[in-house]
Structure 1
Amino acid sequence: MKQHYDIVIIGGGMVGASLACALLPMSDALDLNIAVIESVALPTHDVEEYQPSYDARSTALAYGSRSIYEAMGVWTRLKAHVSPISDIHVSDKGHFGVTRLNAKKEGVSALGYVVENQWLGHVLLDHLQQAASPRIDFICPASVTAVESRADSMGVTVEYQGEHTELSCELVVMADGGRSPLRASMGISYSETTYDQHAIVVNVSTDQPHNGVAYERFTDSGPMALLPLEDKGGSPRSALVWTVPNDLIDEVLGLDDQAFIARFHERFGYRAGNVIHVGQRFSYPLKLTVADEQVRRGLVVLGNAAHALHPIAGQGYNLALRGVASLAETLIHARKQQQNLGDLTRLQAFYEQQRLDQVRTIGFSDQTMKLFSNHNPLLAVGRNVGLQLLDICPTAKTLFARSAMGLDMPAPDLK
């Protein structure tokens, strides 16, 4: 552990580790010293021996996120355990509207990918460890108890191996999640909108292959997403994200497996086949949160600590990853120009770029959820006409698909 770093990343999860991976290729050339502080120990098993877990939580990666991970040099290993999305089927229960997207018709190998969070995290951390770069130090398990702004640097107090250590740096990146205690301790407020809904997350097996098809099913009680996963033991797996009103969450979670499957089919139908097995169920309340301050001099807030949105469009992590890539690009350019990495003017320019992306992405997720949750008959007709028009208009479909895949954003320059 050094006493001074150029960048201190608080949080070694998927967002924090992705930022370290993005900066790694240029760290020697730019003399960048980076600390990653994480509350849990680094994984010790060999990623080459990784086996998918039936109940693993997963993330949908847009095609544009693949490009970002390719630029970092981790995609070749990561793709060993991802499930490509070849088709997306969007429908509205009880109504006529349907839209279908197909990868080949859009000229891409896949519309996106589904990856287990555990696998993604292990690949990122193993990539950093295998590099064995003296430029990156892992400080873990450890916790940050304070962050303060000094005259010409940032101060970070770390509790590590039973002792408190004071570090200094040019830039602190807070990537410690949506429940960030540091965010509150530093007086960073956030706006919050509750949806009065919970998401039930569970993996299921069906009696037929998923064939890479992802489903988005809107119902009168909330949307449902069924995403293709890597098979486990020869059995097809899919990740179900089921939005349930708060007043029904205890009832649905309390159902035995057969009753849960029956309720699922009543809501979703049988287009993906019959569910024959249900894994462990998880749930969490759905809220839209956005930090009011995402940059200060010497400070950037990233990932769920900066924004958390409804999972309806599967764009939360992709938005965060675009922020990671943009910040890495900003820092690389700043270093090349021998500018302080915590310079507020440059960080504000970075944030303004991200704010536009956030407004667009969060707005789309929020408005889509509200539109398809509205029981007004006229709105129901209008949204279903819109789905049908999108389905039969190739130009509109391509524009929509490119936006969903993150291909309407410039590729990051990490060199």
Structure 2
Amino acid sequence: MTAFDVRILGSGIVSRSLALALARQGLRVALQARPATRSAGPDLRAYALNPASVRLLSELRAWDTLPPDARTAVHDMRVAGDAPGARLEFSAFTQSVPALAWIVDAAALEAVLDTAVGFNAMVSLFDEPPTAPLTVVAEGKASGWRDKLGVRFEQHSYGQRAIAARLVCDRPHNGVAHQWFRSPDILALLPFDRPQPGHSFGLVWSVSPAESERLLALPVAEFEAALNEACGEAAGRLTLGSERAAWPLLLGRASAISGAGWALVGDAAHVVHPLAGQGLNLGLADVAALAEVLAERESWRSPGDADLLRRYARRRVTGTWAMTQATDGLWQLFAGQQPLLRELRNRGLGLVNHIAPVKRWLVGQALDS
């Protein structure tokens, strides 16, 4: 019987990326197999990946094998408030980077990672992975193993649901992302090349549960009319290119992310509002940090050594806390409907838009997270 160094519980992008990263170190990995059946409905997930995540996926040789239309560079971002003139614009050109982010088709990325895992001799798939010195929990926000470890998961509902869909536009997206912060909703259009190259967007529209039900129940033509009214046709005339789906939004944080023989990564450790598109980036940053800690460990330490895993927890505490506070703070700022708060936040957007050093700092924080 093969002895394993690490077992990874979870069947998503974070678990596969971690398995490949650890296999590169010569560690023997027992990985949970992907379920034979997926939940009903289309997979409309699209992730915004920052350069740090792209570097990691490139090192794992997963990035360059993605189909060309499954990843789209974001060259510019235009953010608007809920008052005339309240806007903030970012550009990859002024930041001197190839792209501010890349929008990636989740299903395509999962397929590429599955293929890489299948060809890696150091990774073995199991429905129930056998024990190992280190157990990494990457099961997502509803993790059952996290509960078995006695780790509390403190969560707060935002009282919103995110509506997702793929859209087709009557004019090219030109790599421009659009976002509207309005009370009480937040709407984002992510430039994408599926279903129509150069003319598609991924929609993420955060609204109240009641509004979500209303919008999802609308006939296609009426939904498109509501969407175009909300966007003001800033990106062009939008039509649905897929079905619609929705899920509840919450803020979540585990009371601990490591202990003797175990560690948490990804949504099992933390969940943030999608308004900044940083959820998967945080999970892949967990992967990079844990892989680095294990690579640097002393030869006499087990991968499950509690002191070793505390190094991982320390490396992640600052970045995770900062992103959690930033996303939650933005939501709190734009969720309020008091007239004075509305005026302050809209004036703030316009002010920041004219202060180049502040804009560069904000973009830098997102690029390096």
Measured after TM superposition, the shift of residue 300 of structure 1 is: 0.5
Secondary structure class of the residue paired with 1:232: coil
Are positions 1:187 and 2:150 aligned together?
A: yes
1:260-275 matched pairs, under 5 angstroms: 260-275=223-238
Are positions 1:60 and 2:55 aligned together?
A: no
Measured after TM superposition, the shift of residue 39 of structure 1 is: 4.2
| Residue in structure 1 matched with residue 177 of structure 2 by the alignment | 214
**Percent identical:** 29
| Residue in structure 2 matched with residue 348 of structure 1 by the alignment | 310
Measured after TM superposition, the shift of residue 176 of structure 1 is: 1.1
Hey, what's the Cα distance between the residues in 2 that align with 1:74 and 1:317? 15
Residue number among 307, 326, 332 corresponding to 1:364 in the alignment: 326
Measured after TM superposition, the shift of residue 389 of structure 1 is: 2.1
Give the letter aligned to residue 58 of structure 2: E
Measured after TM superposition, the shift of residue 292 of structure 1 is: 1.1
Secondary structure class of the residue paired with 1:199: strand
Residue number among 74, 77, 81 corresponding to 1:92 in the alignment: 81
Query: Is the Cα–Cα contact under 8 Å of residues 48 and 103 in structure 2 kept in the other structure?
Result: yes
Residue number among 34, 37, 57 corresponding to 1:69 in the alignment: 57
Unaligned runs of 5+ in 1: 44-53, 144-157, 159-166, 410-415
| Residue in structure 2 matched with residue 148 of structure 1 by the alignment | none
Measured after TM superposition, the shift of residue 96 of structure 1 is: 2.4
Measured after TM superposition, the shift of residue 3 of structure 1 is: 4.9
| Residue in structure 2 matched with residue 163 of structure 1 by the alignment | none
* Greater share of residues in strand: 1
Hey, what's the Cα distance between the residues in 2 that align with 1:38 and 1:361? 30
Residue number among 114, 133, 137 corresponding to 1:125 in the alignment: 114
Measured after TM superposition, the shift of residue 402 of structure 1 is: 0.9
Structure 1 residues 3 and 23, CA gap change in structure 2 (3 angstroms): closer
Structure 1 residues 369 and 291, CA gap change in structure 2 (3 angstroms): same
Residue number among 281, 300, 313 corresponding to 1:338 in the alignment: 300
Query: Is the Cα–Cα contact under 8 Å of residues 184 and 337 in structure 2 kept in the other structure?
Result: no
| Residue in structure 1 matched with residue 275 of structure 2 by the alignment | 312
Q: Deviations over 1:98-147 (max 9, x none)?
A: 111111111011100001111111111212223x42x21112xx14xxxx
Measured after TM superposition, the shift of residue 73 of structure 1 is: 2.9
Are positions 1:136 and 2:135 aligned together?
A: no
Query: Is the Cα–Cα contact under 8 Å of residues 43 and 107 in structure 2 kept in the other structure?
Result: no
When Rg is computed on C-alpha atoms for both structures, the one with the higher figure is: 1
Give the letter aligned to residue 114 of structure 1: I
Taking only aligned residues, the RMSD between alpha carbons, in angstroms, comes to 1.9
Hey, what's the Cα distance between the residues in 2 that align with 1:233 and 1:83? 12
Secondary structure class of the residue paired with 2:85: coil
| Residue in structure 1 matched with residue 367 of structure 2 by the alignment | 405
Query: Is the Cα–Cα contact under 8 Å of residues 173 and 299 in structure 1 kept in the other structure?
Result: yes
Hey, what's the Cα distance between the residues in 2 that align with 1:329 and 1:284? 33
- Scaled by the length of structure 1, what TM-score is found? 0.84
Secondary structure class of the residue paired with 2:234: coil
Hey, what's the Cα distance between the residues in 1 that align with 2:148 and 2:187? 36
Hey, what's the Cα distance between the residues in 2 that align with 1:344 and 1:198? 38
In the alignment of these two chains, the number of paired residues is 365
Measured after TM superposition, the shift of residue 278 of structure 1 is: 4.2
- Scaled by the length of structure 2, what TM-score is found? 0.94
Give the letter aligned to residue 294 of structure 1: I
Query: Is the Cα–Cα contact under 8 Å of residues 199 and 243 in structure 1 kept in the other structure?
Result: yes
Hey, what's the Cα distance between the residues in 2 that align with 1:12 and 1:195? 26
Hey, what's the Cα distance between the residues in 2 that align with 1:402 and 1:177? 28
Measured after TM superposition, the shift of residue 233 of structure 1 is: 4.8
| Residue in structure 1 matched with residue 340 of structure 2 by the alignment | 378
Secondary structure class of the residue paired with 2:25: helix
Unaligned runs of 5+ in 2: none
Measured after TM superposition, the shift of residue 186 of structure 1 is: 3.0
Measured after TM superposition, the shift of residue 257 of structure 1 is: 0.8
Hey, what's the Cα distance between the residues in 2 that align with 1:19 and 1:329? 11
Measured after TM superposition, the shift of residue 75 of structure 1 is: 2.3
Residue number among 224, 246, 265 corresponding to 2:209 in the alignment: 246
| Residue in structure 2 matched with residue 277 of structure 1 by the alignment | 240
Hey, what's the Cα distance between the residues in 2 that align with 1:296 and 1:174? 12
| Residue in structure 2 matched with residue 394 of structure 1 by the alignment | 356
Are positions 1:112 and 2:101 aligned together?
A: yes
Measured after TM superposition, the shift of residue 79 of structure 1 is: 6.7
Higher alpha-carbon deviation: 212-221 or 83-92: 212-221
Give the letter aligned to residue 148 of structure 2: S
Give the letter aligned to residue 106 of structure 2: N
